[in-house]
């Protein structure tokens, strides 16, 4: 696993100060090593919500300004976004998405998240389909899924065919061309976390 920017900062500063992890945790005010190390590991993997208490204590513990800590956290977040974008681009395959009203939000976020309802709006193309036939396939598949899409989402508005990460075309639900986009349209995402 790659070392994050915040982890680099913490480790290099500990080395400069001549302190180990145990001393860092003590300086951060944790009375038990296990609680402190858990928060530190959460910080290192980018869980800034669970480690927010530690984040508040790091400037004093590392003898650094708050800005230095926040900058490393923002860089870590940006690195994560960049890695996600690179992985998405590398795995991209042409597909279509049914765009729905209310910015694509489902009628029930909970039910949509639990059942992965967004998959009904995404239409995958097999490798044997030619790009000029994408809209025909998308329209046919939309008709097959129309009831499911309407059950989970607000009114369908159009179909967007994503040819590449940097090119997409918009069509009415009847297949009339509406225009091009200079980027692929992305479905929203919901994350269900159980603690």
Q: How far apart are CA 124 and CA 177, in angstroms?
A: 19
* Residue at 52 is within a domain: yes
Task: Indicate the number of domains in the chain.
Answer: 2
Domain that holds residue 76: 5-89
Length in residues, the chain: 195
CB-based contacts of 57: which residues, under 8 Å, 6+ apart? Answer: 27, 28, 29
Q: Tell whether 45 is covered by a domain.
A: yes
**What mean pLDDT is predicted for residues 8-26?**
96
Reported as a single tens digit per residue, the pLDDT across 45-79 is 999 999 999 999 999 999 999 999 999 999 999 99
Q: Which of residues 46, 64, 89 is at a domain's end?
A: 89
85/162 same-domain check: no
C-beta separation of 159 from 96 below 8 A: yes
Q: Are 55 and 72 in contact (CB under 8 A)?
A: no
Judging by DSSP bridges, how do beta strands 156-164 and 95-100 pair with one another? antiparallel
What is the model's pTM? 0.76
Please tell me the predicted confidence (pLDDT) of residue 115.
82
User: pLDDT class for 105, splitting at 50, 70, 90?
Assistant: confident
Q: CB neighbours of 4 closer than 8 A, spacing ≥ 6?
A: 44, 45, 46, 76, 79
């Amino acid at each position: 696993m790659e070392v994050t920017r915040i982890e680099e900062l913490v480790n290099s500063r500990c080395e400069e100060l001549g302190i180990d992890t145990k001393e860092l945790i003590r300086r951060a005010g944790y009375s038990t090593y296990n609680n402190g190390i858990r928060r530190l590991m959460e910080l290192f993997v980018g869980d800034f919500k669970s480690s927010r208490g530690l984040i508040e204590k790091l400037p004093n513990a590392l003898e650094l300004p708050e800005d230095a800590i926040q900058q490393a956290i923002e860089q870590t977040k940006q690195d994560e976004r960049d890695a996600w974008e690179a992985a998405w681009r590398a795995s991209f395959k042409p597909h279509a998405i049914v765009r729905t009203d209310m910015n694509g939000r489902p009628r029930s976020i909970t039910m949509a998240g639990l059942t992965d309802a967004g998959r009904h709006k995404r239409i995958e193309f097999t490798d044997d389909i030619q790009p000029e036939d994408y809209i025909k396939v998308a329209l046919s598949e939309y008709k097959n899924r129309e009831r499911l899409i309407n059950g989970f989402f607000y009114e369908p508005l159009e179909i967007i065919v994503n040819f590449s990460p940097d090119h997409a075309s918009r069509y009415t639900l009847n297949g009339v061309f509406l225009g091009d986009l200079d980027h692929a349209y992305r479905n929203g995402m919901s994350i269900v976390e159980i603690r």
